[in-house]
Amino acid sequence: MNNIKEIEVKNIISKSNLLAYDYAVNPYIGCLHGCKYCYASFMKKFTGHSEEWGEFVDVKFWNPIKIFKKYNKKSIFIGSVTDPYQPIELRYERTKAFLEEIKDFDINVNISTKSDLILRDLNLIKQFKNINVSWSINTLDEDFRKEMDNAVSIERRISCMKTFYDEKIKTTCFISPIFPGITDVIAIIKKCRYCCNTIWLEKLNLRDDFKLKILNYITNYYPHLYNLYKEIYIDNKVDYWKKLDKEIKDFCDREKLLYVKDNNVFDRDFCNNPIVVNYFYHDDIKDTK
């Protein structure tokens, strides 16, 4: 049984540690999607929770936002360490409440989710002048997806993304995290290229306590890939990523897709073929705010 707790916070907006955004907003602490690879699981140590990641959520209530001008022309990322549209949002509507509060701000907003609950807020989101919505999709294999997270199916995510795209809302297919030897990046690009404006890529980064969990999972279910994962995550070699990088670039060249290594694409005009943004090499990302 999941542990749900309501908490009071002074301010829902915090400075962002992500290079592409000025501020971050997380209406919840914890996430019932319980992704096995979730980098945000480090948040558990700040909560006092003893449950496993994915088994608790703290629901935030905050004071009205003040100093509106402070956020003018700035960028806000909603969902940096939680999914703002995880199932509990249906009951508490904290993400919706935040969007209602900032809808008249002159800011750039990015929402990241694995859910189609966001369809509920479509009309609200359409009121924003500068907003991008991204869906995480790292497989087309539903069996693998079920092993990794408790979110909605891949088909539901893609269908939701297409709905927003058709409504002329900037959309992103976030291929993240890329599991070496498992995630078929090119197949996902082919599937989603006409459902979004941009495609972002991010490699699987293993650290903290989930590194051992993922390596054990690979050993048990994909033993033929163990040597590859050892090479990448124990020996710290990058040959696989360089090879994949070239394969994707060659594919994009053939398909006339724009393949860039720069995250400053927020204001690009709509086009039939999406931009494919390479986020493989985190250390090489420039601050393009």
- The pLDDT score that the predictor gives to residue 206 is 87
- The pLDDT score that the predictor gives to residue 155 is 98
In a domain, residue 216? The reply is no
C-alpha span between 126 and 184 (Å, rounded): 32
In a domain, residue 276? The reply is yes
In a domain, residue 113? The reply is yes
- The pLDDT score that the predictor gives to residue 42 is 64
- The pLDDT score that the predictor gives to residue 43 is 62
Q: Identify the domain containing residue 153 by its residue range.
A: 3-207+257-284
In a domain, residue 221? The reply is no
Q: Which residues of the chain have pLDDT under 70?
A: 1, 40-50, 54, 208, 262-272, 281-289
C-alpha span between 138 and 93 (Å, rounded): 27
CATH number of the structural domain spanning residue 193 = 3.20.20.70
In a domain, residue 237? The reply is no
**Is pTM beyond 0.85 here?**
yes
106: tokens are 């002159």
Q: Where are the beta strands (DSSP E) in 90-247?
A: 108-113, 131-136, 170-178, 198-203
In a domain, residue 234? The reply is no
Residue 161 carries which side chain, given as an amino acid letter?
Answer: M
Evaluated on CA atoms 46, 49, 53, 57, the torsion sign reads: negative
4: tokens are 């749900």
- The pLDDT score that the predictor gives to residue 194 is 95
In a domain, residue 223? The reply is no
The structural domain count of the chain equals 1
C-alpha span between 87 and 152 (Å, rounded): 10
- Nearest CA to 210 among 148, 153, 152? 148
C-alpha span between 26 and 18 (Å, rounded): 14
| pLDDT tens readout for residues 123-141 | 999 999 999 999 999 999 9
Instruction: Determine whether 80 is exposed, middle or buried from the number of CB atoms within 10 Å of its CB (0-12, 13-18, 19+).
Output: buried
In a domain, residue 212? The reply is no
Residue 240 carries which side chain, given as an amino acid letter?
Answer: Y
Instruction: Determine whether 258 is exposed, middle or buried from the number of CB atoms within 10 Å of its CB (0-12, 13-18, 19+).
Output: middle
Tell how far CA 189 is from the center of its chain. 16
Contact 114, 33 (CB under 8 A): yes
- The pLDDT score that the predictor gives to residue 285 is 40
- Give the DSSP letter string of 155-199: HHHHHHHHHHHHTT-EEEEEEEEE-TTT--HHHHHHHHTTS-SEE
Contact 159, 121 (CB under 8 A): no
- Nearest CA to 259 among 243, 244, 248? 248
